[in-house]
Chains A and B, each alone.
Chain A
Amino acid sequence: MKQKEGVIKPKTKRAKRFLDNRAPKLTENVKNVMIMKGGNTSMTVTQALKDIYALKKPSAVLYKKKNITRPFEDSSSLEFFSKKTDSSLFLFGSHNKKRPNNLIFGRLFDFHVLDMIELGIEKYNSLSAIKNSKCPEGTKPMLVFAGEAFDHDDDHKRLKSLLTDFFRGPVVPSVRLAGLEHVLHFTALEGKIYMRSYRSLLKKSGCRTPRIELEEIGPSFDFVLRRTHLASDDLYKTAHRQPKALKPKKKKNISHDTFGTKFGRLHMQKQDLAKLQTRKMKGLRKRRGPAAAAEGETSLKTAKVEVE
């Protein structure tokens, strides 16, 4: 496919479908992750990248070759790769003396870097080290964020959003109850972030809701927060802008009282009050003669008909 200023006109229906899949949409696809290695990597880092790839299996690409780039300085090659694989999340692993066992989690908006957070691995247990049965690939994990830092500190707040975006998987309308197996637990404590991954066993309790027992599967990380590159406020706002079509349609003519009573309005055509039909009272009927005039006045206030 030759690219002329990035505009490709599809010649087959298959190509058109492919491009439409990658085009901006109202409800978007699952975010893809590209997992890549830097100029120099250690065993820990390569194993960690492989484990996270296993966690994110269908919607992740793992690059085998090393890429000699520094994301914090030059993000152009990242953006190029993201365009090629239509990924908006990336995980860049590297190792050097100054920053050993480094993982950079990042996300992109419109193929430009939005946020990047660098985490150093202090302790790491891989999937293979913990020997027990794992969750099937592609299960939607439950995420738990514990610790005050995730609420107070800006960097941690952004990290929380980034990790949710990273690990949440496809957005589904319903989930199989028995399939809620995988739990990822993040704890922020003393400037460190502990990530643990468990398999939840639903045990019988007396009532409908089951009792949870956890069994640790891999991988487990002890991260330390290093550098961050967060998006500016206006870029962040632009990235969050939702198209109008997604907003739920407001039902017109429904209003609520302070007490919660539901009100609606009935629109009637203009009525001729002189011809208004009210209850018929035989005694008040029109009668011939002057007696009727007096009665006419005492009857309905709207009846101003002259009886003569």
Chain B
Amino acid sequence: MAACSIEDVLAKAEQDEAEKLKSITVQKELDLEFDIGNLVAYDKNRIDIRQFREQKKDDFLRSLARDNTQLLINEIWKHPTERVEEVIVVKLPEPTTALPREKPPPKPRPPTKWEEFAKLKGIQKKKKTNLVWDDVAKNELHRLRNIARAQKIKVPGVGLTPTAQQSTTDLSRAVNVAKVSTASAGKFQDRLPKEKAPRNTGKKRKFQPVIGNFSSEKQRQLDLLKVMDSKKPRLDVNKAVNKQMREDDREESAAKFRKGGKKGRKGGHFSGKGGGGKGKGGGKGKGGGGKGRAGGKGQGPPGGKKGAGKR
């Protein structure tokens, strides 16, 4: 009894399934071919011409279309679906029918001038890594800063604090700074045979912006014109003071020599250096005299008393 009922149940289940599927199954001699990527179905079955002629054309065509569309939809529903923003979407595969392109495939771009040059020279593209924290340099920098704070002196600039890996720019900058840090500011430092003179050295000039303070610009222009107009030459105090000091030094040295010279004559030795010095001194005196005269003239108003006193 139980066995019969189980069979009945199974049979009934099968029937139900068939019923359900009846609505979507379509009987065809040949299976259709599908290209789901393009949503296309190809039906290669023979079409019954007699039936076509008997029925109304449109009805026949419509029933044929319905069947084919049903099969196509069945095939589409077999593909995976996903939910995208409250909408159920079926993921289509790649289209299988080969259709001609619109334009020929793109040609590779011709290499640019730089790319050609790089290939010729064998230059490879070096990927610049992001800035990495350098522990050694940091320690050095902090140490020097502490020293500076303790002794109240300034910290040396970049390129001089030793880092683990110094690039060529760092090294060259360090070399240049070292060269300039002599008593004569690097004027008499020898250069290696093929070493080039360092660029971008010298006083950095600062220019006023093109459109800035109009009143100050006006004032500057007027001052300039006033200076150009004035008959008397301008005085550069720095230059004048330096010149005067040099003059004094020279006079002192000349006086010393004279004294030393008188003494030396008794002894009978004639120092070539002294003669040379005299010649130089004489020449200097003449040049100095000329300059001094001009300086004297300029000195007139402010430094007049001083100059007179010295003379």
Instruction: Kindly identify, within residues 164 to 200 of chain A, every residue whose CB is under 8 Å from any CB belonging to chain B.
Output: 164-165, 168, 171-178, 180, 183, 185, 187, 189-190, 194, 196, 198, 200
Beta-carbon contact of B69 and A144 below 8 Å: yes
Contact assessment for B21 and A198 in the assembled complex, using a CB-CB cutoff below 8 Å: no
Contact of B105 among A183, A189, A241 (CB under 8 A): A241
Interface residues of B in 62-108 (CB under 8 A from A): 62, 64-66, 68-70, 72-74, 76-77, 81-82, 84, 87-92, 95, 97-107
Residue pair A174, B90 in contact (C-beta under 8 Å): yes
Say what secondary structure dominates the interface of chain A. Answer: mixed
A220 to chain B, nearest CB (A): 8
Interface residues of A in 139-166 (CB under 8 A from B): 140-148, 150-151, 160-161, 164-165
Distance in angstroms from B141 CB to nearest chain A CB is 44
Further contacts, 15 of them, CB under 8 A, given A165-B99, A240-B99: A24-B105, A88-B103, A109-B102, A140-B39, A142-B40, A148-B47, A150-B42, A177-B81, A177-B89, A180-B76, A194-B57, A196-B62, A205-B24, A207-B24, A212-B73
Cβ contacts A231-245/B at 8 Å (1 or 0 each):
000001011111100
**Among candidates B46, B88, B101, B106, residue contacting A240 with C-beta atoms closer than 8 Å:** B101
Whether B100 contacts A109 by the Cβ 8 Å rule is: yes
Pairs of residues from A and B, 5 with the lowest C-beta to C-beta distance, nearest first: A206-B20, A243-B105, A239-B100, A185-B65, A24-B103
Q: Is the CB of B103 within 8 A of A171?
A: no
Are B106 and A23 within 8 A (Cβ)? yes
Whole-angstrom CA separation of A212 from B72 in the bound complex: 10
User: Which of B39, B77, B90, B91 is close to A143, meaning CB atoms less than 8 Å apart?
Assistant: B39
Q: Within 8 Å of chain A (Cβ to Cβ): is B41?
A: yes
The stretch among A25-33, A47-55, A296-304 that forms the contact with chain B is: A25-33
With most chain B CB atoms within 10 A of its CB, the pick from A108, A207, A209, A242 is A209
Residue pair A216, B47 in contact (C-beta under 8 Å): no
Within the assembled complex, what's the spacing in Å between the Cα atoms of A238 and B103?
10
Q: Point out the residues of chain A lying under 8 angstroms from B89, CB to CB.
A: 174-177
Q: Which chain B positions have C-beta within 8 A of A241?
A: 101, 104-105
Binary contact readout B99-127 vs A (1 if CB under 8 angstroms, 0 otherwise): 11111111100000000000000000000
- Given contacts A24-B104, A194-B57, A209-B73, A143 and B38 within 8 Å (CB-CB): yes
Contact assessment for A165 and B100 in the assembled complex, using a CB-CB cutoff below 8 Å? yes
- Interface 1/0 per residue, B293-304 and A, CB below 8 Å: 000000000000
Cα of A240 to Cα of B97 in the assembled complex, Å: 11
State how many angstroms separate the Cβ of A248 from the closest Cβ of chain B: 9
